[in-house]
Amino acid sequence: MDAIIWEGNRLRLLDQTKLPGTIEYIECNDYYTVAEAIKRLSVRGAPAIGAAAAYGLVVGAGQIQTEDPKVFLEKLESIAGELGATRPTAVNLRWALDRMMLRLSSAGEKSVQELRDILLEEAHAIYNEDVESNRRMGEYGQQLFPDEVRVLTHCNAGALATAGYGTALGVIRAAHERGKKVSVYADETRPLLQGARLTSWEMVQEGIPVTLITDNMAGYLMSQKMVDCVIVGADRITANGDVANKIGTYGVAVLAKYHQIPFYVAAPLSTIDMNLSSGEQIPIEERDAREVTHHAGQVVAPDGVKAWNPAFDVTPNGLVTAIITEKGVVQPPYTENLKKIFRDKKQE
């Protein structure tokens, strides 16, 4: 199931808020629809919102009515600003939009139509490179798994959260494809249930054994020696290896450390923000309190109660056993080794 489809010059986004019950695509005829889809989590997951925003910019470029390249670029910059402001934590969103704008600014003198064509080419490149990165990450990551392994994951870092294949779930898929006996525990991931609705759905479709647990079961699961390692995705990793990911990840990492279970993070370089030195600098999205006070449209808390709803937390680098990227597995010390991986990339 593709989260993002570009077909016949049209963008369609799978409405993940309706999964697993209903499969419905949102037709994006204007960029506001794309921005809205990102805000309401119809399309979600760091790499997926980056790719969706890139295509959103292509859609927006089609809405600009001018033949003057300068006016076109000014209007496009403002559309990129609107798309970039939809969600603050996942750096892939801003990364993809910056990459699109940079491609145009380095294109030289072009007509508006030529600029539109370049944008589409770049959006396709972002999309295709993401799938390719995930496959590479899968290959590197699966080497960390023994032949038989029980893995706990949090939220959804699968095909639905990316252009395809997935990051954390990509590693699980790769191990399964190579004949390893992998079974998965999926945290349901309150408040929006990405684990229950999306991760367990992807695993069931793939025929990978999966057991759903509520978030508060992870500690007991580990104490019963029922899990061998944890693997999660990331929304932003800072230069020192601190990891922002779905709320609850930090708790799982603390539990893993206590129980001496490896805690792996799988993420492409587009998720690593070398401009931030540590996790405290990551903007953490706070979402509507109704996501906590309500469940599936039903109220589950008394009227007038206050609720706090940070969508992400930060796991300090000391709890992270290794970061799996498309360029290889990065081990601590992260400040040194992340720098090195970017240096090597530049030299390619």
Q: Which is nearer to ligand MRU, 112 or 144 (CB)?
A: 144
**CA-based torsion, 249, 250, 254, 255: positive or negative:** negative
- What's the CA gap between 213 and 319, in Å, rounded? 22
- Interface mask toward ligand MRU for 326-345; x: CB under 6 A: --------------------
Output the smallest distance, CB 176 to ligand MRU, in A: 17
Rg (CA), the chain: 20
Closest CA to 186 of 227, 231, 154: 154
Q: Which residues of 275-289 are buried (b: 16+ CB within 10 A; e: fewer)?
A: ebeebeebebbebee
**CA-based torsion, 117, 53, 198, 167: positive or negative:** positive
Clarify whether 98 is annotated catalytic: no
- Rule CB under 6 A: say whether 131 interacts with ligand MRU: no
- Rule CB under 6 A: say whether 88 interacts with ligand MRU: no
Q: Identify the H or E element spanning 198.
A: none
Q: Which is nearer to ligand MRU, 104 or 253 (CB)?
A: 253
Stretch that binds ligand MRU, among 27-35, 38-46, 71-79, 211-219 (CB under 6 A): 38-46
Position among 3, 26, 37, 44 found at the interface with ligand MRU (CB under 6 A)? 44
The reply, when asked if residue 136 is annotated as ligand binding, is no
Position among 86, 142, 167, 199 found at the interface with ligand MRU (CB under 6 A)? 167
- Rule CB under 6 A: say whether 245 interacts with ligand MRU: yes
- What's the CA gap between 28 and 24, in Å, rounded? 13
The reply, when asked if residue 44 is annotated as ligand binding, is yes
Output the smallest distance, CB 9 to ligand MRU, in A: 27
Phi, psi at 230, each rounded to 5° = -115, 140
Q: Identify the H or E element spanning 43.
A: none
- Rule CB under 6 A: say whether 230 interacts with ligand MRU: no
- Rule CB under 6 A: say whether 164 interacts with ligand MRU: no
Q: Scan residues 188-217 and list those touching ligand MRU (CB under 6 A).
A: 194
Output the smallest distance, CB 293 to ligand MRU, in A: 18
Q: Which residues of 11-41 are buried (b: 16+ CB within 10 A; e: fewer)?
A: bbbbbbbebeeeeeebebeebbbbbebbeeb
Q: Which residues contact 108 (CB under 8 A, 6 or more apart)?
A: none
Output the smallest distance, CB 106 to ligand MRU, in A: 28
Which residue in 15, 215, 235, 242 is the catalytic one? 235
- Rule CB under 6 A: say whether 45 interacts with ligand MRU: yes
Stretch that binds ligand MRU, among 135-143, 174-182, 230-238, 317-325 (CB under 6 A): 230-238
Position among 55, 246, 315, 327 found at the interface with ligand MRU (CB under 6 A)? 246
Q: Which residues contact 217 (CB under 8 A, 6 or more apart)?
A: none
- Interface mask toward ligand MRU for 279-318; x: CB under 6 A: --------------------------------x-------
- Rule CB under 6 A: say whether 172 interacts with ligand MRU: no
Closest CA to 170 of 205, 202, 207, 196: 202
Q: Which residues of 65-100 are buried (b: 16+ CB within 10 A; e: fewer)?
A: eeeebeebbebbeebbebbbebbbbbbbbbbbbebb
Cis peptide, bond prior to residue 302, ω within 30 of zero: no
- What's the CA gap between 57 and 296, in Å, rounded? 32
**Number of residues near ligand MRU (by CB under 6 A):** 18
Stretch that binds ligand MRU, among 233-241, 302-310, 315-323, 326-334 (CB under 6 A): 233-241
Give me the active site residues, please: 235
Which residues of the chain form contacts with ligand MRU (CB under 6 A)? 41, 44-47, 90, 155, 157, 161-162, 167, 194, 233-235, 245-246, 311
